Structure 1
Amino acid sequence: MTTERTEDYLKTIEAVVSKKGYAQVKDVSAALGTSPSSVTGMFQKLKNDGYINYEKYGGVTLTSKGKNIAQNTKAKYGVVKDFLTVLGVDSNTADEDACRIEHVLTDDTIDVLTKFVDFIHHSDEYPLWMDHFKHFYETGEYINCSPATKKNCPVHGNTKNKQSDK
């Protein structure tokens, strides 16, 4: 099992490598806001663990093992951020929280979140209950209406605070 720190390094290395073909200590140091000596030490550990190809003073690339972890971590981050955004969390907060949460969720939980977000994004109509949740979040008031009673619903009906249907 990898640590949060290892996953963050591998994800950062992958991002740099995808842009320029290799990563250097200065690239990772700048991206993570850590000292070059800390990055050098971590590079040695990552090399010993079989996650990167590393020659001192040279460029770093990921091994297939390292790339797999980096891509899985990045995918988890994307799903968590998307889920939080669907719930109405602002983008910056969703980004910060997803960076923390990505490391602790099980594969089963990620699978459920992935399917949920995919379901929401591929629904023909924005689910009525999502509008109800947003209303509840903003006002603390529960709404009990269905597609059949939508016209009389305070969220969807003809009121001054009408929200557009999606």
Structure 2
Amino acid sequence: MEIHESAENYLETILVIGKRKPQVRSIDIANELSFSKPSVSVAMKNLRVNGYINVDREGFITLTESGRTIAEKIYERHELLSAWLIHLGVNPQTAAEDACRMEHVISTESFQAIKRHTEMHKK
């Protein structure tokens, strides 16, 4: 099943918030992304129906195994691409914004090549 960029962004946001807070709610996601609560509610329903998240009776959101896999992949890409661009001299804010766009469209092959290159130059 193909997952869209917006869904990847939501999953990544859930992962990131979950690293800071013990529980994630729709309002946390809305605040993080500066989206309206109704927009986030619709997105959460779609993610739940497609098996990427679970929502308990109290409204707490958790990633399913497949949701976590996607979120971690996107987060890794974002972190590595941001750091790489900053290392190349790009302003940190611009690097983060560009990485956010790049993380969704870069091929696995290209990302792995950048990853190998950056790891090789760390040594």
TM-score bucket (shorter structure):
over 0.9
Q: Which runs of 4+ in 1 moved over 4 A?
A: none
Q: Does the 8 A contact of 1:44 with 1:54 survive in 2?
A: no
CA offsets 1:58-89 (integer angstroms, 9 cap, x no match): 11110011011000000011121122122211
1:6 matched to 2:14: no
**Equivalence for 1:64:** 65
Aligned to 1:152: none
Size of the aligned set, in residue pairs, is 122
Higher fraction of helix: 2
Distance 2:71 2:95 in 1: 20
Q: Percent same amino acid among aligned pairs?
A: 31
TM superposition score normalised by structure 2: 0.93
Give the Cα–Cα distance (whole angstroms) in 2 for the partners of residues 22 and 51 of structure 1: 16
Q: Which has the larger radius of gyration?
A: 1
CA RMSD across the alignment:
1.3
* 1:9-29 C-alpha deviation (Å, 9 max, x unpaired): 001111122222321111000
Q: Structure 2: give runs of 5+ residues left out of the alignment.
A: none
Provide structure 1 residue ranges, at least 5 long, that are not aligned to the other structure. 123-166
Bigger relative CO (Cα 8 Å, ≥ 6 apart): 2
Counterpart residue type for residue 48 of structure 1: V
Q: TM-score, normalised by structure 1?
A: 0.70
